[in-house]
Amino acid sequence: MLLGIKSKKVALLRHLAMAIVGGLLVYLVWSLNGTWSPDMRLWKAFGGASFFLLWFAVVIGPLAKLLPSFNLMLSYRREAGVWFFIIALVHGYLILDGWVRWNVWEFFGYQYFTEVEMYLRVEPGFGLASLLGLVALMFALALAATSFDWAVNLLGITSWKWLHMFAYVVFYLAAMHVVYFAFIHYTPSFNRLAMGLPTDYPDNPLKYYYLNALLSVFVLQTSAFIATVRKNKRASW
């Protein structure tokens, strides 16, 4: 049995379905960001699509605890998590290759000034958000790599489930990364104004969807925890 799926054919079909969903999400986010430059539009498309796949992977657990009819969707969490990682990896590559140009200093929000011949910190928030995204991707790699039979057999089901609880860590790290870029980075700043850089970026049409995704996971997790505590108390009576 393949992690609760009775055949490899079914597992492959589920991966295909999730790949199609991921592709549609990339296209949808790309379409909604039509006012951005082509390169930034592409980065946002892969970043937004990966975040929504991750949201589905983590929200379905507490939702199923509150509404058992959603139990049918639980088995899709693994495929959603794997394709979140794949699409997020593409997003990360596009950022490294197109934005920071594989420069570690620029990745952490520094820029080189010929006047003083050194790197100076310009966007501290950018550096922190980049670090959060990188850490989230590293955790996601561990989770994606162990989303298969061999990992369950190697680790044991209890240890495997404990490891995959880190999906929520990945989500909250990714959410902070997304919220920074959706609400903060592209707003006017003194540094950008002083350097003569653009301060009139287009608004992010999905920023409140990202915020609602973050809040929905937090609220549902809290509600599911309270419901579980009440259920256990009633059982002990």
Task: Break the chain into its structural domains and give their ranges.
Answer: 8-227
Residue 138: the pLDDT is 96
Residue 5: the pLDDT is 54
How far apart CA 56 and CA 92 sit, in angstroms, is 20
Backbone angles phi, psi at 214, to 5 degrees: -60, -50
Residue 56: the pLDDT is 97
What is the tens place of the pLDDT at every residue in 181-193? 999 998 888 777 7
Other beta carbons within 10 angstroms of residue 187's beta carbon come to 10
DSSP 8-state secondary structure symbol assigned to residue 221: H
Residue 45: the pLDDT is 98
Residue 192: the pLDDT is 73
Residues of the chain scoring pLDDT < 50: 1-2
Residue 207: the pLDDT is 96
Q: What is the DSSP string of 10-63?
A: HHHHHHHHHHHHHHHHHHHHHHHTTTS-HHHHHHHHHHHHHHHHHHHHHHHHHH
Backbone angles phi, psi at 123, to 5 degrees: -125, 85
CA Rg value for the chain: 20
